[in-house]
Chains A and B, each alone.
Chain A
Amino acid sequence: AQTVTQSQPEMSVQEAETVTLSCTYDTSESDYYLFWYKQPPSRQMILVIRQEAYKQQNATENRFSVNFQKAAKSFSLKISDSQLGDAAMYFCAYRSGPGSGTYKYIFGTGTRLKVLA
Protein backbone atom coordinates (compact mmCIF):
# COMPACT_ATOMS: atom_id res chain seq x y z
CA ALA A 1 0.00 0.00 0.00
CA GLN A 2 1.10 3.53 -0.67
CA THR A 3 1.95 5.91 2.14
CA VAL A 4 2.71 9.62 2.34
CA THR A 5 4.84 11.12 5.10
CA GLN A 6 5.16 14.76 6.08
CA SER A 7 7.74 14.92 8.84
CA GLN A 8 7.38 18.61 9.67
CA PRO A 9 4.25 19.23 11.78
CA GLU A 10 4.90 22.97 11.77
CA MET A 11 7.13 25.44 9.93
CA SER A 12 7.62 29.19 10.23
CA VAL A 13 8.89 31.65 7.65
CA GLN A 14 9.44 35.38 7.61
CA GLU A 15 7.37 37.35 5.16
CA ALA A 16 9.16 37.64 1.78
CA GLU A 17 11.50 34.75 2.61
CA THR A 18 11.56 31.25 1.11
CA VAL A 19 10.45 28.07 2.82
CA THR A 20 10.52 24.41 1.80
CA LEU A 21 8.00 21.84 2.99
CA SER A 22 9.02 18.18 2.85
CA CYS A 23 7.08 15.17 1.66
CA THR A 24 8.18 11.61 1.10
CA TYR A 25 6.10 8.74 -0.15
CA ASP A 26 6.34 5.02 -0.55
CA THR A 27 5.06 3.14 -3.59
CA SER A 28 5.96 0.31 -5.88
CA GLU A 29 4.13 1.94 -8.79
CA SER A 30 5.93 3.74 -11.59
CA ASP A 31 3.00 5.83 -12.78
CA TYR A 32 1.32 8.16 -10.30
CA TYR A 33 0.50 11.76 -9.51
CA LEU A 34 1.54 13.96 -6.62
CA PHE A 35 -0.22 17.03 -5.31
CA TRP A 36 0.18 19.80 -2.79
CA TYR A 37 -3.04 21.19 -1.33
CA LYS A 38 -3.42 24.21 0.92
CA GLN A 39 -6.07 24.25 3.64
CA PRO A 40 -6.64 27.68 5.24
CA PRO A 41 -8.56 27.93 8.51
CA SER A 42 -11.84 28.15 6.52
CA ARG A 43 -11.12 24.49 5.60
CA GLN A 44 -11.59 24.79 1.83
CA MET A 45 -8.77 22.68 0.38
CA ILE A 46 -7.15 24.45 -2.55
CA LEU A 47 -4.89 22.83 -5.13
CA VAL A 48 -1.46 24.43 -5.11
CA ILE A 49 0.47 22.31 -7.58
CA ARG A 50 0.37 18.96 -9.34
CA GLN A 51 3.17 16.73 -10.66
CA GLU A 52 2.95 13.73 -12.98
CA ALA A 53 5.54 11.10 -12.10
CA TYR A 54 6.46 10.48 -15.73
CA LYS A 55 7.47 14.11 -16.19
CA GLN A 56 11.04 14.83 -15.19
CA GLN A 57 10.53 18.58 -15.18
CA ASN A 58 9.53 20.02 -11.83
CA ALA A 59 6.14 21.71 -11.78
CA THR A 60 5.95 25.45 -11.09
CA GLU A 61 3.02 27.74 -10.36
CA ASN A 62 4.06 31.34 -9.80
CA ARG A 63 5.76 31.48 -6.37
CA PHE A 64 5.26 27.75 -5.79
CA SER A 65 7.58 25.09 -7.15
CA VAL A 66 8.37 21.50 -6.37
CA ASN A 67 11.54 19.45 -6.18
CA PHE A 68 10.47 16.03 -7.40
CA GLN A 69 13.06 13.31 -6.84
CA LYS A 70 11.49 10.11 -8.14
CA ALA A 71 14.28 7.76 -7.15
CA ALA A 72 14.34 9.14 -3.62
CA LYS A 73 10.51 9.27 -3.51
CA SER A 74 10.63 12.84 -2.38
CA PHE A 75 8.31 15.69 -3.35
CA SER A 76 9.07 18.96 -1.57
CA LEU A 77 7.25 22.25 -2.01
CA LYS A 78 9.14 25.53 -2.17
CA ILE A 79 7.30 28.76 -1.51
CA SER A 80 9.20 31.86 -2.59
CA ASP A 81 8.52 35.42 -1.43
CA SER A 82 6.20 34.15 1.31
CA GLN A 83 3.08 36.19 1.96
CA LEU A 84 0.80 36.39 4.98
CA GLY A 85 -1.91 34.70 2.93
CA ASP A 86 0.27 31.62 2.54
CA ALA A 87 -0.33 30.72 6.18
CA ALA A 88 -2.29 27.45 6.21
CA MET A 89 -2.03 23.69 6.54
CA TYR A 90 -0.31 22.14 3.56
CA PHE A 91 -1.05 18.57 2.59
CA CYS A 92 0.93 16.37 0.26
CA ALA A 93 -1.18 13.79 -1.61
CA TYR A 94 -0.57 10.78 -3.83
CA ARG A 95 -2.80 9.26 -6.48
CA SER A 96 -2.09 6.10 -8.44
CA GLY A 97 -1.85 6.23 -12.21
CA PRO A 98 -4.77 5.43 -14.53
CA GLY A 99 -3.75 1.80 -14.96
CA SER A 100 -4.22 1.07 -11.28
CA GLY A 101 -8.00 1.19 -11.31
CA THR A 102 -8.15 3.38 -8.21
CA TYR A 103 -8.53 7.15 -8.07
CA LYS A 104 -8.50 7.97 -4.38
CA TYR A 105 -6.01 10.40 -2.91
CA ILE A 106 -3.71 9.35 -0.09
CA PHE A 107 -2.78 12.29 2.10
CA GLY A 108 0.01 13.00 4.52
CA THR A 109 -0.66 14.39 7.98
CA GLY A 110 0.04 17.95 6.94
CA THR A 111 2.45 20.77 7.78
CA ARG A 112 1.18 23.93 9.40
CA LEU A 113 2.91 26.96 7.89
CA LYS A 114 3.13 30.17 9.87
CA VAL A 115 4.17 33.37 8.12
CA LEU A 116 5.71 35.98 10.38
CA ALA A 117 5.31 39.65 9.57
Chain B
Amino acid sequence: GAGVSQSPRYKVAKRGQDVALRCDPISGHVSLFWYQQALGQGPEFLTYFQNEAQLDKSGLPSDRFFAERPEGSVSTLKIQRTQQEDSAVYLCASSLGLRETQYFGPGTRLLVL
Protein backbone atom coordinates (compact mmCIF):
# COMPACT_ATOMS: atom_id res chain seq x y z
CA GLY B 1 0.00 0.00 0.00
CA ALA B 2 0.93 3.64 -0.24
CA GLY B 3 1.30 4.17 3.48
CA VAL B 4 1.16 2.46 6.85
CA SER B 5 -2.35 1.35 7.68
CA GLN B 6 -3.78 0.45 11.06
CA SER B 7 -7.01 -1.18 12.11
CA PRO B 8 -9.31 -0.64 13.76
CA ARG B 9 -9.09 3.15 13.86
CA TYR B 10 -11.17 3.23 17.03
CA LYS B 11 -11.72 0.59 19.67
CA VAL B 12 -13.82 0.73 22.79
CA ALA B 13 -13.21 -2.04 25.28
CA LYS B 14 -14.58 -2.85 28.69
CA ARG B 15 -12.03 -3.16 31.43
CA GLY B 16 -10.70 -6.69 31.51
CA GLN B 17 -11.26 -7.43 27.82
CA ASP B 18 -8.47 -8.45 25.47
CA VAL B 19 -7.83 -6.34 22.35
CA ALA B 20 -5.76 -6.82 19.20
CA LEU B 21 -4.49 -3.92 17.12
CA ARG B 22 -3.22 -4.50 13.61
CA CYS B 23 -0.53 -2.71 11.61
CA ASP B 24 0.17 -3.11 7.88
CA PRO B 25 3.55 -1.54 7.06
CA ILE B 26 4.59 0.03 3.82
CA SER B 27 5.43 -2.69 1.31
CA GLY B 28 9.12 -3.56 1.47
CA HIS B 29 9.70 -2.02 4.89
CA VAL B 30 11.51 -4.54 7.06
CA SER B 31 11.47 -2.53 10.29
CA LEU B 32 8.33 -1.92 12.31
CA PHE B 33 7.82 0.10 15.48
CA TRP B 34 4.97 0.50 17.98
CA TYR B 35 4.42 3.63 20.08
CA GLN B 36 1.82 4.59 22.67
CA GLN B 37 0.54 8.17 22.73
CA ALA B 38 -1.43 9.24 25.79
CA LEU B 39 -3.72 12.25 25.51
CA GLY B 40 -1.74 15.46 25.28
CA GLN B 41 1.60 13.68 25.26
CA GLY B 42 4.22 12.71 22.74
CA PRO B 43 4.47 9.13 21.52
CA GLU B 44 6.39 6.72 23.72
CA PHE B 45 8.25 3.72 22.39
CA LEU B 46 6.87 0.25 23.01
CA THR B 47 8.73 -2.24 20.80
CA TYR B 48 10.28 -2.80 17.40
CA PHE B 49 10.89 -5.58 14.87
CA GLN B 50 13.39 -6.28 12.16
CA ASN B 51 11.52 -8.65 9.85
CA GLU B 52 9.95 -11.18 12.22
CA ALA B 53 12.51 -10.70 14.99
CA GLN B 54 11.47 -8.58 17.95
CA LEU B 55 14.71 -6.79 18.77
CA ASP B 56 13.60 -4.48 21.56
CA LYS B 57 10.54 -4.73 23.76
CA SER B 58 11.85 -2.63 26.60
CA GLY B 59 9.02 -0.11 26.29
CA LEU B 60 6.15 -2.54 26.85
CA PRO B 61 4.58 -1.32 30.11
CA SER B 62 3.58 -4.73 31.48
CA ASP B 63 3.36 -8.40 30.62
CA ARG B 64 -0.21 -7.75 29.51
CA PHE B 65 1.22 -6.23 26.34
CA PHE B 66 2.41 -8.56 23.60
CA ALA B 67 3.45 -7.86 20.02
CA GLU B 68 4.16 -10.20 17.15
CA ARG B 69 5.10 -10.12 13.48
CA PRO B 70 5.20 -13.78 12.51
CA GLU B 71 5.82 -13.41 8.78
CA GLY B 72 7.81 -10.23 8.86
CA SER B 73 5.04 -8.06 7.45
CA VAL B 74 1.80 -7.43 9.33
CA SER B 75 2.15 -6.89 13.06
CA THR B 76 -0.35 -7.25 15.88
CA LEU B 77 -0.19 -5.57 19.26
CA LYS B 78 -2.24 -7.45 21.81
CA ILE B 79 -3.29 -6.11 25.18
CA GLN B 80 -4.71 -8.59 27.65
CA ARG B 81 -7.06 -7.72 30.50
CA THR B 82 -7.23 -4.07 29.49
CA GLN B 83 -7.10 -1.38 32.17
CA GLN B 84 -8.27 2.22 32.03
CA GLU B 85 -4.68 3.43 31.94
CA ASP B 86 -4.24 1.60 28.62
CA SER B 87 -6.48 4.20 26.96
CA ALA B 88 -4.30 5.92 24.38
CA VAL B 89 -3.56 6.14 20.69
CA TYR B 90 -1.34 3.31 19.50
CA LEU B 91 0.88 4.32 16.60
CA CYS B 92 2.68 2.00 14.25
CA ALA B 93 5.62 3.09 12.10
CA SER B 94 7.67 1.31 9.48
CA SER B 95 10.99 1.97 7.78
CA LEU B 96 13.14 0.47 5.04
CA GLY B 97 15.67 -0.44 7.68
CA LEU B 98 16.36 0.26 11.31
CA ARG B 99 18.54 3.24 10.43
CA GLU B 100 16.02 4.77 8.03
CA THR B 101 13.34 7.35 8.70
CA GLN B 102 10.15 5.99 10.24
CA TYR B 103 6.79 6.56 8.54
CA PHE B 104 3.76 6.52 10.78
CA GLY B 105 0.27 5.16 10.41
CA PRO B 106 -2.90 7.00 11.47
CA GLY B 107 -3.04 5.20 14.81
CA THR B 108 -5.66 3.22 16.71
CA ARG B 109 -7.48 5.12 19.43
CA LEU B 110 -8.23 2.74 22.30
CA LEU B 111 -10.70 3.70 24.99
CA VAL B 112 -11.06 1.38 27.95
CA LEU B 113 -14.21 1.91 30.01
Contacts and interface: CB of A to CB of B under 8 A. Distances in A.
Interface of A: 4, 6, 35, 37, 42-47, 50, 91, 93, 98, 102-110
B56 A91 contact: no
Q: Contact residue range for chain B? A: 20 to 34
Contacts of A35: 101
Contact of A45 (B31, B44, B56, B91): B91
Interface string B89-112: 101010000110111111101000
Interface of B: 3, 31, 33, 35, 40-45, 48, 56, 59, 89, 91, 93, 98-99, 101-107, 109
Contact of B56 (A42, A44, A102, A105): A102
B45 A106 contact: yes
Contacts of A42: 106
